[in-house]
Amino acid sequence: MQFQRYLNVLDELGYFPLSSKTEEILYDAARKSIERLGESASKALLDHICSINELSEKELLTNYDLFEKSLYRVLRKGAEVILRDLKRELLVQAVLIDPNTDLSIRISDIRNPGLAIGDILKRIRAVETLEFVRKTPSHTHIAFLYTNDNSKNNILAAFFDTKINSAAKGLFSFKKPANNYVSGVENIILYELLQEPREYEVVVNRLADWLAKLNPGNKSQQNNDDSPTRIADEDAMWWVRNGFVSQILGIEKSMVRYLQDNMSVLCGYNISNVSKGHFDRESISTLISTHDHVILDESSVMFRAANMRGKI
């Protein structure tokens, strides 16, 4: 429900979901499982379902909920046989993804009858999202909308992963984090240090000073490494909740200037408990439009702006 407001704005602004490896995995698995009905019968049934729903085969087979509903409509109880096959196919793929993350599928998961196909897809998608964030290229400005702190911690850990990126790292945070997910981050600025006085110019100047100090310390430049400086905001919604809406929108807009350097920025927004009164549709629209990529924690779906060049 919280995410729906943001989804509507993304749609309005013309952001589109990035085609993902998870979709490819689901497509292949769904196709393989329905083909157990035989090539001719599965083709005939898929054509029929697609024509009723006015969808292409790819749209149907990459939308699990719709595929499941359609199968139950056509095969009734028999759909269970196809879905059981689909689940088996997905589990095979899921165990092949990075076994070193908390999200990977383990034997105990495979044995758990409560693990639904939706859960498996969510895990695969989440691992894919972490991989995307880990490899974020320079000049990228990502908004990460979340409600779950664990997801935020995973995303920040991937963004600051020192095995991938040896560049300078900076974090806006509430407090000096004790968690190890930001252990490689030497430069932490606390929101409270930015907030007073409330004048926008003062806030922006402080931010500029902090960023200027951060860049000379960029290890990647010292090491002749191309890794971009990485800046993350743990929860930029803090500004909104504390009445600094115009300040955060101004900062987000000003990031365009910094992103011309070898830098990438990830802005976390905890969208729980943010009322429409605090943050109206127009502000959400302004905020989102400053980012070239938006990630929704709920589904781990990544969106990209239609015109990325205009954002940088």
Partner 1 sequence: MTPPIWEDSINPNPLKFLDTIDDFKHIVLFYEEPESGRMIQFRFIKNGLSKGQHCIYTTHKDMDIPLIENEMTNSDIDVEGYKKTNLLHICQIPDPRSFREGSVKGYDKFVKGILADLKHPSIFRIVSRAIPEVNREEQIVDELDVERTYHSTFDSFGGSLLCSYSVEEIEPRNRGKWIVELLQNHHSAIFLRKSGDGIAFNLE
CB of 31 to partner 1, least distance (A): 14
Select from 1, 4, 54, 76 the one that contacts partner 1 (CB under 8 A): 76
Distance between CA 186 and CA 307 in Å, rounded? 34
Select from 11, 12, 14, 88 the one that contacts partner 1 (CB under 8 A): 88
CB of 83 to partner 1, least distance (A): 5
Q: Answer yes or no: are the C-beta atoms of 294 and 281 closer than 8 Å.
A: no
Toward partner 1, which CB reaches closer, 24 or 80? 80
Select from 29, 46, 237, 251 the one that contacts partner 1 (CB under 8 A): 46
Q: Answer yes or no: are the C-beta atoms of 61 and 27 closer than 8 Å.
A: yes
Toward partner 1, which CB reaches closer, 7 or 50? 50
Verify binding: residue 80, partner 1, rule CB under 8 A: yes
Verify binding: residue 37, partner 1, rule CB under 8 A: yes
CB of 84 to partner 1, least distance (A): 5
The conformation of residue 114, written as its DSSP 8-state character, comes to: T
The conformation of residue 37, written as its DSSP 8-state character, comes to: G
CB of 85 to partner 1, least distance (A): 8
Q: How far is CA 141 from CA 110, 122, 195, 265, 271, in A?
A: 37, 24, 23, 5, 18
Scanning 29-37, 222-230, 253-261, 270-278 for contacts with partner 1 by CB under 8 A, the matching segment is 29-37
Site map 140..169 versus partner 1, x via CB under 8 A: ------------------------------
Contacts 24+ apart (CB under 8 A), 185-193: 185/160, 186/217, 187/213, 187/214, 187/217, 191/238, 191/239, 191/242
Q: Which residues contact 7 (CB under 8 A, 6 or more apart)?
A: 296
Verify binding: residue 253, partner 1, rule CB under 8 A: no
Q: Which residues contact 212 (CB under 8 A, 6 or more apart)?
A: none
In this structure, which amino acid lies at residue 250?
A: G
Select from 44, 96, 212, 308 the one that contacts partner 1 (CB under 8 A): 44
Q: Answer yes or no: are the C-beta atoms of 243 and 209 closer than 8 Å.
A: no
Select from 14, 84, 174, 208 the one that contacts partner 1 (CB under 8 A): 84
Residues of the shown chain interacting with partner 1 in the complex, contacts defined by CB under 8 A: 35-41, 44-49, 51, 68, 74-78, 80-84, 87-88, 91, 110-111, 113-114, 116-118
